[in-house]
Amino acid sequence: MFYSRPADIPLAHLPNLLELEVAFTDTYDGLGEAVRQAPQLQSLCLFWITHEVDEVIHEVVAAISHLPNLAMLAIQHGTTYTPIPAAACAQFCAALRGRARLRRLFCNLRIRHDDCAAHLDMLATLPNLEILALVTEDVLCVEFLAELQRCLPAQLSVLMLSHTYADSHGPQAFLRFWQHFSNLSFLRVEAWAAPGLTAHDIVHHAGKSLQLVQYRGDVLDVEHWEDGQTMLWPWSTQKILLRGIEDSGCEGWNWYMRHSLA
């Protein structure tokens, strides 16, 4: 739904509403107060945010404080990978800590290096996560992958990792990663600078659950054989865009792609 401001949403008249997807054109002020009228909500998704990040996060934190059954949260900023201020990040982490019902978390705001450890510690308190988009300033390296194994549950099925830089240590760098995340069916990896890192390095030790990998803009289907994997030709731009609105055959993929491609 498109509304100019949160007060325009008739939530008091929608007692059976479980999922809310909105984009506000004027302001996010009052979102928390508006959502107070719909404590039954299980999903809150915000699209095409163009407002000040700290103001939006303040309202998001207020909103989710009224949603004890929140299972899905998506925050999609209109300017890709806009940094989240330290104070707003701390508020966000405090609000989500211990949310055992939360299964899906998409946020394309970039976590600054100084805030990344606290953010990962918060993620470690979400034992039922199935889908996660994680955008950070940290280097994608063996040590960071080890932190993910410490903090994230093994049942993750969709994971997006976006970093400013990636070290290349060959396929061995991802060996323990795949031993832990054996349920992943879709992995997206982005790095602004990643000398030497290839899609083959990323998927070499992947289990047979992996069906799709996205790296450097290419989306590749993965086929498994007895002695390894084969990555097929990259999806066309048209196919990628259509996947944002069509049924991919996997409801979790549909949810992630709708927010990733919006």
Burial (Cβ within 10 Å: 0-12, 13-18, ≥19) of residue 57 = buried
Residue 211 tokens, joined:
């069906």
| Residue 63 domain-assigned (yes or no) | yes
Q: Are residues 112 and 216 in the same domain?
A: no
Q: Are residues 109 and 72 in the same domain?
A: yes
Q: Around 131, how many Cα atoms within 13 Å sit in the side-chain half-sphere?
A: 20
For residue 69, the enclosing domain spans 1-120
Which of 120, 149, 170 finishes a domain? 120
Q: Are residues 219 and 247 in the same domain?
A: yes
Res. 31 pLDDT band, cuts 50 70 90: very high
| Residue 131 domain-assigned (yes or no) | no
Res. 245 pLDDT band, cuts 50 70 90: low
Q: Are residues 182 and 86 in the same domain?
A: no
**Percent share of the chain, pLDDT over 70:** 95
Q: How many separate domains does the chain show? A: 2
- The predicted-structure confidence for 112-145, as pLDDT tens digits, reads as follows 999 999 999 999 999 999 999 999 999 999 999 9
Residue 227 tokens, joined:
């002695």
Q: Are residues 262 and 225 in the same domain?
A: yes
Which of 120, 155, 185 finishes a domain? 120
Q: Are residues 148 and 191 in the same domain?
A: yes
- Give the whole-angstrom CA distance, residue 258 versus residue 262: 6
Res. 175 pLDDT band, cuts 50 70 90: very high
Residue 157 tokens, joined:
């099925």
The residue written with tokens 């790095």 in the block is 191
pLDDT for residue 46: 93
pLDDT for residue 248: 64
- Give the whole-angstrom CA distance, residue 1 versus residue 227: 48
Element (H, E) at 212: strand 212-215
pLDDT for residue 1: 66
Res. 246 pLDDT band, cuts 50 70 90: low
**What phi-psi label fits residue 81: left (phi over 0), alpha (psi between -120 and 50 degrees) or beta?**
left
What letter would DSSP give residue 218?
E
pLDDT for residue 3: 76
Q: Are residues 154 and 248 in the same domain?
A: yes
Question: What phi and psi values does residue 74 have, to the nearest 5 degrees?
Answer: -130, 130
| Residue 108 domain-assigned (yes or no) | yes
